[in-house]
Amino acid sequence: MAQSDVLLKLKGVKTYFFTDEGTVHAVDGLDFQVRRGETLGIVGESGCGKSVTSMSILRLLGKTGKVIEGEIMFDGENLLDLSEEEMRKIRGNRISMIFQQPTTCLNPVFRIGEQIIEALQIHQGLSGEEANKRTIELLTLVGLPDPVRRMRSFPHEISGGQAQRVMIAMALACNPELLIADEPTTALDVTIQAQILDLMRELREKVNTAIILITHDLGVVAEMAENVMVMYAGKAVEYAPVHALFEAPKHPYTQGLIASTPVLGNVRDELETIPGQVPSLLNPPAGCRFASRCAHKMDQCTQEEPPLIKLEGDRLVRCWLY
């Protein structure tokens, strides 16, 4: 793999929130990379730090959150060193984002066409007429019915699935090198989800965009991702190519996650469960963070945190069993 192939590389990233109740160790030492054109899936239980990871990359953490350690290298540049002004040029231009709730990202008082046209004028320096033409192209590309008329709609006048398509059109307006999609289809019905996933696949092929796809739906990951990172309580616990991960999950948490998912067409009497619940990120336990729920726990597990251990076939696992 040539070095320039790597588009994004996180090294030892720690993102903490400083709250009245204490310090939330939301992301606690994260390393991963994404190649150009690659789709990386990130899965994990609610609250494990998936969204905070993406917000750290985009530097949209708000007042209480801060990346306190590590590097976020994007195309050879550490995003953490950029000024706010420089960062603004990257956001929505070289890196785009699709959020779970599309309507929260569309400005309710502007027509959807105007919003895309404006983005194109600011980021791509297109003239009004060029931007207008490109907007129609994009809305057609994302399969919005009757795009010329729809451009004049306000966000509340379109359905959730349509709003999500407008968001994708906006995210792609600038042919981004990296698209971060945080639960892009969770709020949608499955038939609409199928349309949107189809669309993302098509666009990936046309524009060679790298995608970070965050979801808790293992089905979506299996279908879309080349590589998968599994997170648990602020840490990556497993990293593997998608086929290898589903064929032979290594980390006890990943194993439990896959075994507890009901699979269409494969009814079992009893679903496997993972007992207990996720530890608090205010005072994460010493040692392995999964230990309180793990059936393979050993003495060592609660004393010393397991490192990410390299396995064959480009795999990493954070567990003392290996």
Ligand X SMILES: Nc1ncnc2c1ncn2[C@@H]1O[C@H](COP(=O)(O)OP(=O)(O)OP(=O)(O)O)[C@@H](O)[C@H]1O
What is the binding site for Mg ion (CB under 5 A)?
50-51
> In which residue are the tokens 């007992």 written?
275
Label each residue of 276-312 as H, E or C: CCCCCCCCCCCCCCCHHHCCCCCHHHHHCCCCCEEEC
Q: Tell me whether residue 19 or residue 127 sits nearer to ligand X (CB atom).
A: 19
Q: Phi and psi dihedrals of 117, rounded to 5? A: -60, -45
d(CA 264, CA 40): 24
281 in Cβ contact with 233 (< 8 Å): yes
Give min distance, CB of 207 to ligand SF4, in A: 36
Per CB under 8 A, the segment of 75-83, 95-103, 252-260, 312-320 that binds other proteins is 252-260
Closest CA to 308 of 256, 232, 227, 243: 232
Binding site partner of 301, from other proteins, ligand X, ligand SF4, none, Cβ cut-off 5-8 A by kind: ligand SF4
Per CB under 6 A, the segment of 41-49, 108-116, 267-275, 290-298 that binds ligand X is 41-49
Binding site partner of 252, from ligand SF4, ligand X, other proteins, none, Cβ cut-off 5-8 A by kind: ligand SF4
Helices (H), 126-274: 128-141, 147-150, 160-172, 190-207, 218-224, 242-247, 252-259
Q: Tell me whether residue 203 or residue 237 sits nearer to ligand X (CB atom).
A: 237
Strand pairing class (77-78; 309-311):
unpaired
Residue 9 belongs to what H/E stretch? strand 6-19
The single residue among 29, 37, 47, 279 that binds ligand X, judged by CB under 6 A, is 47
Binding site partner of 297, from ligand SF4, Mg ion, other proteins, none, Cβ cut-off 5-8 A by kind: ligand SF4
Q: Does the protein bind ligand X through residue 91 (CB under 6 A)?
A: no
Q: Tell me whether residue 15 or residue 162 sits nearer to other proteins (CB atom).
A: 162
Q: Which residues bind ligand SF4 (CB under 6 A)?
A: 252, 288, 290-291, 294, 296-298, 301, 306, 319-321
Compute the chain's Rg from CA coordinates.
21
Binding site partner of 281, from Mg ion, ligand X, other proteins, none, Cβ cut-off 5-8 A by kind: ligand X
Q: How far is CA 243 from the centre of its chain?
A: 19
Binding site partner of 49, from other proteins, ligand SF4, ligand X, none, Cβ cut-off 5-8 A by kind: ligand X
Q: Looking at residues 258 to 317 of the shown chain, list those that interact with ligand X (rule: CB under 6 A).
A: 281
Binding site partner of 296, from other proteins, ligand SF4, ligand X, none, Cβ cut-off 5-8 A by kind: ligand SF4
d(CA 317, CA 19): 31
Q: Does the protein bind ligand X through residue 62 (CB under 6 A)?
A: yes
Strand pairing class (95-98; 178-182):
parallel
Q: Which residues pair with 4 in a beta bridge?
A: none
Q: Site residues (CB under 6 A) for ligand X?
A: 17, 19, 24, 26, 44, 46-52, 62, 64-65, 216, 281
Q: Site residues (CB under 8 A) for other proteins?
A: 45-46, 145, 159, 161-162, 189-195, 197-198, 216-223, 242-243, 246-247, 256-258, 260-265, 267-268, 270-275, 277
